[in-house]
Amino acid sequence: MSTMTFLEALREGMSIRMRTDPNVVLFGEDVGAFGGCFGVSAGMFAEFGAERVRDTPISEGAIVGCAVGAAATGLRPIAELMFCDFLTVGMDQLVNQAAKMRYMFGGKISMPMVLRLPAGAGTGAAAQHSQSLEAWVTHVPGLKVVYPSSPQDALGLMLAAIDDDNPVVFFEHKLLLGVKGEVDSKEPIPIGKGKVVREGKDVSIITYGKQVYDSLAVAEALAKEGVEVEVVDLRSLYPLDKDLIGETIAKTHKAVIVTEAVKRGGYGGEISAIIAEEFFDQLDAPIVRVGGLNTPVPFSPVLEQYFIPNDKDIMQAVRSVL
Give the pLDDT confidence of 164-204 residue by residue, as tens digits. 999 999 999 999 999 999 999 999 999 999 999 999 999 99
Instruction: Provide the b/e sequence for 195-223 (b: ≥16 CB within 10 Å).
Output: bebbebebbbbbbbbbbbbbbbebbeebe
**Helix or strand holding residue 244 (H, E):** helix 242-252
Architecture of the domain delimited by 2-183 = 3-Layer(aba) Sandwich (3.40)
Q: What is the mean pLDDT of residues 39-52?
A: 96
DSSP symbols for 131-193:
---HHHHHTSTT-EEE---SHHHHHHHHHHHHH-SS-EEEEEEGGGTT-EEEE---SPPPTT-
1 pLDDT band (50/70/90 cuts)?
confident
Assess whether pLDDT exceeds 80 at residue 13. yes
What is the distance between the alpha carbons of residues 8 and 262, in angstroms, rounded to a whole number? 29
The mean pLDDT value for 78-85 works out to 97
Strand order in the sheet with 229-233: 195-198, 229-233, 203-207, 255-262, 288-292
Q: What is the pLDDT of residues 109-137, one digit of tens each?
A: 999 999 999 999 999 999 999 999 999 99
289-303 pLDDT, tens digit per residue, is: 999 999 999 999 999
Distant-in-sequence contacts of 275-278, Cβ < 8 A, 24+ apart: 275/245, 275/249, 278/242, 278/246
- Average pLDDT for 264-287: 97
Q: What is the DSSP letter of 298?
A: P
**DSSP helix/strand/coil, 6:** helix
Percent of the chain with pLDDT over 90: 100
Mean pLDDT of 260-274: 97
**Which among 129, 139, 173, 253 is annotated as catalytic?**
129
Model pLDDT, residue 153 = 98
Mean per-residue pLDDT over the chain, rounded: 97
Give dist(CA 83, CA 129) in Å, integer. 6
CA distance 251 to 261: 27
Q: What's the CA gap between 35 and 28, in Å, rounded?
A: 10
Note if 173 is an active site residue.
no
Residue 172: per-residue pLDDT: 98
CATH T-level topology, domain 195-321: Rossmann fold (3.40.50)
Domain with CATH 3.40.50.970 in the chain: 2-183
The CATH 3.40.50.920 portion of the chain extends over 195-321
- Confidence category of residue 260, pLDDT binned at 50, 70, 90: very high
Neighbouring C-beta atoms of residue 296, cutoff 10 Å: 13
* Residue range 216-254, pLDDT digits in tens: 999 999 999 999 999 999 999 999 999 999 999 999 999
